[in-house]
Structure 1
Amino acid sequence: MHKIVFISFYILLIILLPIFIFSYTEIIDNGELNLSVYKNYTKIRIEKFHIFGGYGEPELPYRDLIIRTDNADFAETFKCHILDSIVYKNIKLSPAQRALPINSKKTGTGFLYNDSSYNIDGYLPDDLIEMKGIGKIRGKRYAKIIFSPFRYYPKENKLIYYKTIEFESPGEFNIITNFKERANSDKGILYITDTIYKNALDTLLLLKKIEGYNPIIRTTQFIYNNYSGNNNPDKIRNYIKTLVDSGILYIVLAGDVNTIPTRYAFAMESGGGSWQDNIPTDYYYGDIDGNWNANGNLVYGEIEDSIDMLPDFYIGRLSFNSIAELNDIINKIYIFEKGDYSIPNCKILSNAGMLDSYTDASVGLDTILSYVPDYFQKSVLYDNSTNNVYLGEFMDSLNGGFNYLIHSNHGSTQGFSIGQDIFHNNDADILNNVNNIPNVTYTISCISAAYDEDCMGEHFLRSTNGGGYYIGNARYGWYIGYYSGASASDIMQKSFFEDLFNDDEYTIGELISLTRLKYAPSASMENCYRWMEYNLVLMGDPSSYMRTKPLKDFIVNYDSIISTGLNNIEVEVRDENIPIEGAIITVFKSDSLLVKGFTDISGKTLLSLLSEGNDTLNINVFKNNFRLYSNKLFHGNKELRYLESYIIDNNDSNFNPGETDTIAIIVKNYSDSTFYNLNFILNCNDSFVSINDTIVFVSQIDPSMLDTLYYEISISDTVPYDYLFYTYFEYNGGILKDSIASVILKGKAEICQKSYSISAIPASVGLTVKNTGNGYIESEYLHFIPVDNEITITPDSLLIENLYPEDSIYLYINID
């Protein structure tokens, strides 16, 4: 951002000061045009831009901008200047196609072309920039702008592209590109439920405290008795309005609509009748500015109701009708957030079909898959003219433990199409995911999340041994004929996954709210974007972080012995040798939080803990993409302390498979007295590790003196790569260190060149062998097996010895 200060002759300065003292600018480079030919027309696409459905008129991309400003006159004073333009001639833009609901198989409406729109004398669009109003997010002002940086002259087949634009305002402003609540602050969660379910939520609230949140519960009975409103949804919303400055960011509606009522809103006429156009929307509780009924006609959500469409809170619904169903949902959340599963967690399944005879939904989903990192296993089930997808294959895939399912096909309250079959509600009930790993499903199918009826989203959420989080539509989802992946439903689905894999620290509620925020300017008009703002449903806890990397285990170091009174405990959290910043450390006595901290850039935090008794305390470490770490703090004698440990071997000072190495543990006497006749015991319960003699006897340790104890540890040669194990250390029955983390580093001998060209046989071939693992190779054989029985390789095995990571050796084999 650049500040321009006007300075002139001091007499003129007095006159001009109110107008010209400050001007703020931001420059946007809109990027390169992606031009492609479709049916003899030129189709334009640009990153971060989208199109609207139409009826055959020339199609131009638009971009939505959200601008943070405190300037009350921003809408009147905001300007733009063109800095760079490109002229394209002989361009006949592709005609906009109609947005259609994804409710049933269609034969198609035919390719639309409006001849009169291509023969106007002027240009399109009428305005380069349209101001769509000023709104607020928790009291802060944001401007909503939609712009299309083009002038298209259809009669001349000429297109002018304004590639670089400067925005200007007398007051300071900021174009939002990343809207996050990322500070290590006390982020709050409000759970709203009926009194009969309040106690059943206690275990979920404890988990949220461990994750660093401040959760609270309010019952509908409390809200209805203490807050005013014309009806119960009004009362709930009026209570939520009081929480703007409370730290609450997440709202969880814990119950079906019979327990937590919803609001119905009108976005536009869909052509599907009053039931479709009357959209149940929990977003009523998330966008709290205004009353959604400004004109007083009791039709909520109309353009005339002046809704700013900006999310103040992150909303999700746990839809259940019994404590048993709630327990199934909580169990899924626990498994997902604690990382209580061992199979690979980076898997995504994409399922799509033909939305009509000319629109293949898989084209749009392939774009989403391009955002997904390569370390994810990407699987596709696409039903089209060359491949058919059936229910058995789909169910087997879901049960195989996919983290994410992206889906684009037709749907109803009873399920959605997966190709040749329907995935019905009762199919979701009997899902049996591997290790019960919860899945996150995002579907743009119609009404499969119509939570005011019995729907797929609810069955998926409640499934006892499968299912998981569900993002879907309460009414119609939309597609644009011929242009797969271009509708409001498609764009918002893409936005969710693009943002997800751009950052490791998004919750599912943040992602959905960010998607709503991005397209709030477009949603300020009657169109599919407004429809989708109301229509999008999250079945699940919005505060759950989304996995983006393979789950890992923390290495956590701290003094696990505490004493009565004040304890200053330094906790260090690492990913192997890399400090972890922003890990959340909590200490509990039973379910009462005693202290909370966040690790700094060095991976450390200092906890000041006041302990008033001899109870064992629980310490937890949480951060996304890691398994939850939970252990104990013990009351004991702090005068004799564990200091540190290190490994003694003959090579790389690390534990390696098949080795017997020594771990040295240093203890110190901090007291004024001598300790006598000490039995120091090191134990480990890991099957890959054995301690040859677990007890070391020390006759005495004098005041302020150190002693070093040595234990031989044998490592199995079948241990997995880079394996983490823990030992615990005690003396005379008292704990000195409850968790000593060690990593077994395994070497891996690989031939650098995978193929060789041999002009004649016999031949001698030189091989470069490199240790590509993280550990030392003391002794390992490479074996050679010819695939051709007429070829002999000698020697048929080569011994690799004493090879450090990244080092190479050169060896020869003979081929006859």
Structure 2
Amino acid sequence: MKNSLLFVTFIASMAILYGNTFSLVSKNQDMKSIKFVSSTIEFNEKDGYTRLTNPELGSTVEDGMPELPTYSTFFHMEPGKAYNVEFEVISSHTVDNIEIFPYQGEPEIGTVRPFLKNVDFYTSKSKFPESNITVSEPMIMRDIEVGQITFIPFEYNAHEKQLTIYDDVNISVIESGEREDVANFPLKRSYLFEPFYEDLILDYEPLSTREEYQPATIMYVCGGASLSHPFVQDLIEWRRLQGYIVYAVSTSETGGSSASAVENYLEDVFNTWETPPEIVGLIGDTGGTYGIGYHTYDGGATDVDYSYLSGNDFLPEVFIGRISVNSSSDISNVINKTLTYEKALNQESWWYERAALVGDPSSSGVSTITTMQYVQNIMENFGMDDIRTNYSNGNYDNWVEDQFDDGILYYHYRGYYGSSGIGESGLNSGIYTPFAGSLTCGTGDFNGTSNSESFLRAGSYSDPQGAVGCVGVSTLSTHTAYNNIVHMGMVEGIYSKGMNHAGASLANGKLALLKTYPTNPNNAVSRFSAWPNLMGDPALHLWKDHPHDFSIDTPATIPEGTTSLDVFVTDENDDAVENARVTLNFGDEYFTGYTDMNGITSISWPADISIGHGTIGIFKKDFRLLQRSLAQTQVQGPALTLDNLRTTIDDSVNGNGNFMMNPGEQVSIQIPILNYGNSTTEGLELELESGNQKAIVLDSVQNHDSIEPNSEANFIFSILLDNAIYEAEDLDLKLYITDSDHNQWMIPIPTYIYGPKLELIDYNILGSGIMNQGQESRINLTFKNTGSMNLENIIIEFIDNEGAISFPSNSINVNQIDANTEFIINDFAIHPSNSIINGSIVSVPFHFSSENGYVGSDYVTFTVGERDEGDPLGPDEHGYYIYDSGDVNYSMAPVYDWIEIVG
């Protein structure tokens, strides 16, 4: 059965968790193949009808028509490409004599509506829905374009009272042509948005290295004269020490303080700057001394428009928040709370384990409690062990005051307008200011003075109170279901998805709406993406457990003239820390690097930078920032180093002329050597050695007369590169220098190879999804060329693993795999041996070669079978298995034979 995309279906939901119902089977340049497997649906009797429910799903929302669960996922759209969607039902089953409950519309508190039923449909021979699948128009999320698939795996025949449920479905996303409109994206992808892409997009592929993403970047738009405030400058300096590029502009630079002027400025920045901001913080209230304009939607104040900088959709291009301040003392108080929270220098350990949750069902129903129970469950799963709750117990104001006085890391409230009488005064949190969420009617009307602003501004610099940041909802027209979704999505973002910025947390809550309401029924996504707003710094780094601490191995002083510094970063357990951001601050100059898997990074800077005194900042989420001073000293005698910012490659004679190192070329490398000592070095002998057999240095020895202090000399060496060298392969080049006074230097010469690199990144077992012993299985193998050069005419050969796994045909020919592109080999046969123990993991080597001489080898591991009680135990640490008499399918199983001993 095949059906083409014809219509748009409206859906709704009251939950945000999604099962793994969609999975990517394969993809190529023309088509993506997706497998859909239906999840469990509950059948509940209601008013003589059967209601189909799953707390993780939305539903159709056509008044009076059958209410059927809906499923949704996103896929990556290539710029300028159009797509069609088709589906084929592989298996289904029917339920007879069932009358499906009709959708009753949005519930309104205090309103009793007549029962809605489309009698014409329920008495007809029509089927619902008319079509089962739809795909959205292209949507832009900062630097990537996506389409959203909505699928209804049901067909209801009202006349026959018969429901057909699609259990197993193949969905095909097919490239169908070109689109005229091509979006304008930033030059580099955002690493801060990576958790959203990985969670949202079914076929998303992350980049290979951190360096391929743009640097982390923040912009503060400062109302009035707030930019010159000492605490604003402290905040900017703190962010730079954390490794951010920080742009700070006043409203005089944006063309005014109106909402349209600021939004136009941000759009221009996003579309034209090489490194546009990922986070935008507004500093100022909507009026007064530091006024910055605001937008409205359906009567509610909002800042969300500042995050919609490209496309016509609900996907943000930046994370937005407002440091809402009305006076100089407000600025001092709010930013002091922000810095105290993030530095976490004096807080006791119990603070990181404590939260306060309020669920008041008196007007909004029991879902306020179930929402808080969901929040509680997530926090407990991530180790928070002191969660205080008030679920329908009353005395809310005094109870909340007590929790703030005790000190809490998070405060969450779900209830009704008026916040159950909870005020924002008397919340004596001190240095233990929590991050707060109060998502109910009237808590976020920041065009007046909202509850969320009062939480933020509470206290003073000398007596901090209230919260470090707060999310509230504007207008009195909010709905319980939508508030629940946003609130749960915020907490899910912080904990389950590792989104540690306050602005990212709120953005995830709003995206939860889009997942469950993809066609924006009754403008639900429009309203509840606009009305919840963050009061506080969107770049606030949220804690969710005890902070880790860094330790670094690097000198406190460096010789004058040094142009690089190696830093080794470990944690409190002396374990290497990967992907820590290391920033060197030399006055107005900042240089940043990221540690590798060994906790090491090397940071370089131009030779003309005067260091004097500097600072090292080490930063990573869930770690306290580490600061160390760095000073420069004069070196006595000669001292040589590499000015690696001026190292150049020339392949114009025996290469392709792209001034990069590519396989099969003979390249010239110019190596500038700087003498940063205070005396001349003379009679130099230089030898360049390669520790990689694929790189041969020609004429590796050179001589040079002298290099004077603060001067440099350039040396050119020729290197012959093998065809088999791959992307980013280490050449292990070292330059050894000896002078006439027997001074010796060994200088590593960093290089980068631009070439192909073939990797097997995934495999999918067809059919049951299990590779069984003694049976031939069919698998799809996903290879990726993670390099920067195309591969042509590739032969891939799998090697039989000592009889454990064999291949009916072990050789595969592939015409071409382009750079940074996947290639899927479909329906490849593999045969595990009968002797393999169920649950065993078997490694299989494979070799590959290409027409241009690129060769290599790797291995893939397969799990064979599923272990049950009829399989042996093991292996232990020495590789031994234990067989018993019940393991009858194995030749080594012992035979049970009872011999009676007669006394």
State how far apart, in whole Å, the 2-side matches of 1:367 and 1:91 are.
32
Q: Structure 2 vs 1, CA of residues 601 and 499 (structure 1 numbering), >3 Å: closer, same or farther?
A: same
Which of residues 567, 570, 574 is equivalent to 1:577? 574
Distance (whole Å) between structure 2 residues aligned to residue 52 and residue 324 of structure 1: 51
How far apart are the structure 1 equivalents of 2:382 and 2:220?
A: 37
> One-letter code of the match for 1:249?
E
Question: 1:336 maps to which residue?
Answer: 341
Matched, 1:220 2:243: no
* 1:459-483 deviation per Cα after TM superposition (whole angstroms, max 9, x unaligned): 1111231312111212246446xxx
Seen in structure 2, the aligned counterparts of structure 1 residues 620 and 245 have a Cα distance that, compared at 3 Å, is: closer
1:138–1:244 Cα contact (<8 Å) kept? no
Structure 1 residue 511 and structure 2 residue 517: aligned? Answer: no
Note the alpha carbon deviations across 1:578-609, whole angstroms, 9 max, x for none.
2211111122245x344221111111112236
Specify whether residues 67 and 177 from structure 1 end up closer, same or farther in structure 2 by C-alpha distance, changes over 3 A only.
closer
Q: Structure 2 vs 1, CA of residues 595 and 478 (structure 1 numbering), >3 Å: closer, same or farther?
A: same
Q: How far apart in 2 are the matches of 1:176 and 1:452?
A: 36
1:285 aligns with 2:293: no
Equivalent in the alignment of 1:67: 75
Alignment partners' CA distance in 1, 2:373 and 2:259: 47
User: 1:110 and 1:612, CA in 2 relative to 1: closer, same or farther beyond 3 A?
Assistant: closer
Cα shift readout 1:148-207 (whole Å, capped 9, x = no counterpart): 322234555543332433331333999715989994531211111224111122111111
Deviating more after overlay: 577-586 vs 612-621: 612-621
Whether the aligned pair in 1 keeps the contact of 2:94 and 2:165 (CA below 8 Å) is yes
Contact (CA 8 Å) 1:561, 1:638: kept in 2 or not? Answer: no
Q: Report the secondary structure of 1:189's partner residue.
A: strand
Evaluate the alpha carbon distance shift between residue 555 and residue 237 of structure 1 in structure 2; reply closer, same or farther with a 3 A threshold: closer
Q: Which amino acid aligns with 2:296?
A: Y
* 1:458 match: secondary structure: helix
1:207 is aligned to 2:212 = no
Report % sequence identity. 18
1:627 maps onto 2:630 in alignment: no
Out of 386, 392, 396, the position equivalent to 2:402 is 396
Q: Which residue of 1 aligns with 2:139?
A: 135
Determine the structure 2 residue equivalent to 1:699.
none
* Residues 12-91 of structure 1 mapped to structure 2, 5 A cutoff: 22-35=30-43, 42-46=50-54, 48-51=56-59, 58-70=66-78, 72=80, 74-75=82-83, 77-91=84-98
Query: Aligned ranges for residues 342-361 of structure 1 at < 5 Å?
Result: 342-344=348-350, 345-356=352-363, 359-361=366-368
Shift of 1:241: 4.7
In structure 2, the residue matched to 1:690 is: none
- Please tell me whether the aligned partners of residues 363 and 415 of structure 2 are also in contact (alpha carbons under 8 angstroms): no
Equivalent residue number for residue 469 of structure 1:
469
Partner of 2:495 in structure 1?
A: 501
Q: Call closer, same or farther: CA 1:190–1:354 in 2, change over 3 Å.
A: same
Aligned CA distance change for structure 1 residues 111 and 126 (closer, same or farther; 3 Å): same
SS of equivalent residue, structure 2 residue 338:
helix
Per-residue CA deviation, residues 389-431 of structure 1 (Å, 9 max, x unaligned), is 331111111232222222210125xxx22xxxx1124x2xx42
SS of 1:261's partner is: coil
Q: Does 1:455 align with 2:470?
A: no
Matches of 1:406 and 1:40 in 2, distance apart? 38
**Hey, what's the Cα distance between the residues in 1 that align with 2:273 and 2:175?**
25
Counterpart Cα distance in 1 of 2:635 and 2:176: 56
Once the two structures are superposed, residues 285-337 of structure 1 have per-residue CA deviations (whole angstroms, 9 ceiling, x without a partner) of: 111236xxxxxxxxxxxxxxxx3222122111111111211121111211222
Question: What is the correspondence of 1:258-657 to structure 2 with a 5 Å cutoff?
Answer: 258=287, 259-265=291-297, 277-289=298-310, 307-340=312-345, 341-344=347-350, 345-356=352-363, 359-372=366-379, 373-384=381-392, 387-412=393-418, 416-417=419-420, 422-425=421-424, 427=425, 430-433=426-429, 435-464=430-459, 465-466=464-465, 467-476=467-476, 478-479=478-479, 487-520=481-514, 522=518, 524-566=520-562, 568-575=564-571, 576-589=573-586, 592-608=588-604, 615-635=612-632
Structure-2 residue corresponding to 1:778? none
- Determine the C-alpha separation between the residues in 2 that align with 1:145 and 1:4: 16
In 1, Cα distance between equivalents of 2:512 and 2:495: 17
Give the TM-score normalised by structure 1: 0.63
The CA deviation at 1:507 is 1.9
* 8 Å CA contact 2:92, 2:165 repeated in 1: yes
Distance 1:491 1:122 in 2: 34
- How many angstroms apart in 1 are the aligned matches of 2:259 and 2:388? 49
1:282 and 1:129 map into 2 onto residues whose CA distance is: 34
- Other structure's SS at 2:522 match: coil
Structure 1 window deviating more from structure 2 (252-261 vs 398-407): it is 398-407
Give 1:775-814 correspondences, 5 Å limit: none
Q: Which moved more, 1:132-141 or 1:204-213?
A: 132-141
Aligned residue number for residue 148 of structure 2: 144
SS in 2 for 1:331: helix
Cα pair 1:151 1:161 within 8 Å, conserved: yes
Q: Is the 8 A contact 1:118 1:155 kept in 2?
A: yes
Q: Specify the alignment match of 1:8 in structure 2.
A: none
Tell me the distance in 2 between the aligned counterparts of 1:119 and 1:504.
50
Cα contact 1:264–1:281 (8 A) shared by 2: yes
TM-score (norm 2): 0.58
Q: What is the Cα deviation at residue 260 of structure 1? A: 1.2
**Per the alignment, do residues 404 and 523 of structure 1 end up closer, same or farther by CA in structure 2, a change over 3 Å counting?**
farther
Aligned mates of 2:415, 2:203 — CA distance in 1: 30
1:284 and 1:529 map into 2 onto residues whose CA distance is 13
- Verify the 8 A CA contact 2:132 2:151 in the aligned structure 1: yes
Matching residue within 164, 170, 181 for 2:174: 170
Give secondary structure in 2 for the equivalent of 1:399: helix
Counterparts of 2:477 and 2:498, CA distance in 1:
29
Indicate if the aligned counterparts of 1:566 and 1:611 stay in contact, CA closer than 8 A: no
Letter in 2 for 1:463: A
Q: CA deviation at 1:448?
A: 0.5
Offset of residue 446 of structure 1: 0.7
Instruction: Name the CA distance, whole Å, in 2 between partners of 1:34 and 1:338.
Output: 48
2-structure distance, mates of 1:586, 1:399: 37
- The one-letter code sitting in structure 2 at the alignment partner of 1:510 is A
- 1:34, distance to aligned residue in structure 2 (A): 4.4
Partner secondary structure for residue 529 of structure 1: helix
SS in 2 for 1:437: coil
Cα offsets for 1:210-258 (capped at 9, x unmatched): 2221111122112217x9x995455445445535753311111111112
Cα distance between partner residues in 1 of 2:158 and 2:439:
34
In the alignment, the residues of structure 2 paired with residue 28 and residue 81 of structure 1 have an alpha-carbon distance, to the nearest angstrom, of 10
Answering whether residue 163 of structure 2 is matched by residue 159 of structure 1, we say yes
Q: 1:443 is aligned with what amino acid?
A: S
What is the total number of aligned residue pairs between the two structures? Answer: 576
